[in-house]
Chains A and B, each alone.
Chain A
Amino acid sequence: MTKGFGALTAVRNLSFSLQEGEILGLIGPNGSGKTTLFNVIAGVFRPDSGEVLYRGQSIVHCSPHEICQMGIAKTSQTIQPFSNMRVFENVLVAALYGKNLTMGKAREETARILKFMGLEGLGGEPAGKIPLPLRRRLELSRALATGARVLLLDEVMAGLNPTEIQESLEILKKVRNQGKTLIMVEHVMRAVMGISEQVIVLNHGEKIAEGKPAEVAGNPEVIQAYLGKRYA
């Protein structure tokens, strides 16, 4: 799959596959194309060439809401809550539309997810007024409420302190135990390395390494991409 913006090729000839229930970590220096990749999978951008297959079906020509309803949900790195709506209503929208539930069922589902995510006390708060770590959690709740089987998590831990990262990891483990497939873009190495079964490293839009977390961490090319030639 390839995607470029004008003269810049953000993702070049990238190819990978993923089994259901797996956790894939996606790492790489800034500007290596991780977010672009997510946007292509979620249908925000159309790739210049290549295919995205979900359960054997091509989804490159689907719009984001169709892809979401099929079962792939994305959280955004720059969190985008429906700020003037309550926390409960934020999640409700996803349950109503992503999972296509009726109002009564969606309310039950929303209450269940808020409880699961530990946000049940905040349902009535406006989403724009809660602190950042909780807003990140809300973003994840919304993705979960769409009923997606595959979650694309774009830096759900950015800006969190160590305690909050730990909490976030616990939540992700619980989510995985529900049988969800996760693809995580993350700069917090402890998080990626601790939870991923497989890691892909991108640099300048190309895949430079792939494998188990420990293997990848020792790969000279990866070290070079992050720290420069001298350390490789």
Chain B
Amino acid sequence: MSRQWLKVHLVWLAFLAAGIILSSVPLFVPEGYRLRLLALVFMWVALSGCWNLMSGYTGYIDFGPVAYFGVGSYSTAILMLKGGVPFLPSIFLSGLICAVLSLAIGLPTLRLQGAYFAIATFAVAEALKQGILEGDRLIGLEFFGGAHGLTLPPPPSEAYFYYLMLFFMGLVVGLTALLEKSKFGYGLRAIREAEQAAELSGVPTLKIKIKAYVLSSSLIGCLGGVEAYWLTYIIPDDVFNVLRTIQMVIMTLLGGMGTVLGPVIGASFLTLVSEYLGAKFVYDYLIFVGAVIIVVILLLPRGIMGTLWQGQRWNR
């Protein structure tokens, strides 16, 4: 009991310490590439963390999380440009919009299983991209900016986004850690292991899956909004790019699905590796990134964290 207690408190202490150290980084590192790179790492940790929260724990492979990233980007941009809403309320509202949208999409799609769910969510993301591309022509107004995209107002300093991304990363990782050992978390894992047995043990499976999906989607929506303001320029082909989905999936798989630290390790690793290789081999770095991914998956099929966890041989 006391050992367990100590362990839990040590984890939160480590979490707090990491937070303090990372928040003090901008005091020492000058604005520029390195700060930007760290913020990028945080964003990907948060994004793949969101994906892990839903797909990693329930085993339902969501292949369309980018839908909410795109919707979040566009709603933040439109709220700021057309509505004159300040940035922070805009990303909050974008999260809300994504929550409503994901509820509407989750209700029918989360009754599907396996590949069907993956295909359905993928189709939703592609449909939304086309919708925004062609939206202006459809309604006959200048609203989404079509393929030309939208330009947002000039953003504040780099450090501002560093802290925002750090906040979201902390939020997602902290939330995952809290949920993992909660009633909700046990429900999600039971669904992943044997959905029918979970249902027969009293777990309201559909309701829980939808809760996880909405939570994950609305956080992704907020992050989309942050990135839109950070980059100041968005186009459908980029914010709805399926590569973003694939990146969230691969980062989580690399780190270990259904673990708190999996996305942290997977996303940091992959972002830094592709950044390093991108600078070394400007034209063909993706080949090397692919090779690295294949090697890691061959050596550690359960992901980096998953393998470590297995190595512990179920010790408490």
Decide yes or no whether A114 CB sits under 8 A from chain B. Answer: no
B161-199 residues at the A interface, CB under 8 angstroms: 182-183, 186-187, 189-190, 193-194, 196-199
Decide yes or no whether A176 CB sits under 8 A from chain B. Answer: no
A164 to chain B, nearest CB (A): 22
The secondary structure that dominates the B interface is helix
Contact A64 B199 (CB under 8 A): yes
Decide yes or no whether B155 CB sits under 8 A from chain A. Answer: no
Which residues does chain A contribute within 8 Å of B193, judged by CB atoms?
A: 81-85
Contact A97 B194 (CB under 8 A): no
Decide yes or no whether B201 CB sits under 8 A from chain A. Answer: yes
Q: Which chain B residue lies CB-closest to A146?
A: B202
| In the complex with contacts A68-B200, A82-B198, A103-B182, A97-B187 CB distance below 8 A | yes
Size of the B side of the interface (Cβ < 8 Å), in residues, is 20
B92 to chain A, nearest CB (A): 30
Q: Which chain B residue lies CB-closest to A86?
A: B314
CA distance A42 to B202 in the complex (A): 11
Size of the A side of the interface (Cβ < 8 Å), in residues, is 36
Decide yes or no whether A44 CB sits under 8 A from chain B. Answer: yes
Which residues does chain B contribute within 8 Å of A98, judged by CB atoms?
A: 201-202
Decide yes or no whether B205 CB sits under 8 A from chain A. Answer: yes
Decide yes or no whether B289 CB sits under 8 A from chain A. Answer: no
Contact B314 A96 (CB under 8 A): no
Which residues does chain A contribute within 8 Å of B198, judged by CB atoms?
A: 82, 93, 97
Q: What mask results when residues 27 to 42 of chain A are scored 1 for a CB within 8 Å of chain B, else 0?
A: 0000000000000001
B315 to chain A, nearest CB (A): 8
CA distance A76 to B194 in the complex (A): 12
CA distance A42 to B197 in the complex (A): 11
Other contacts beyond A65-B202, A76-B196, A106-B183: 4, CB < 8 A: A64-B196, A68-B200, A85-B193, A125-B314
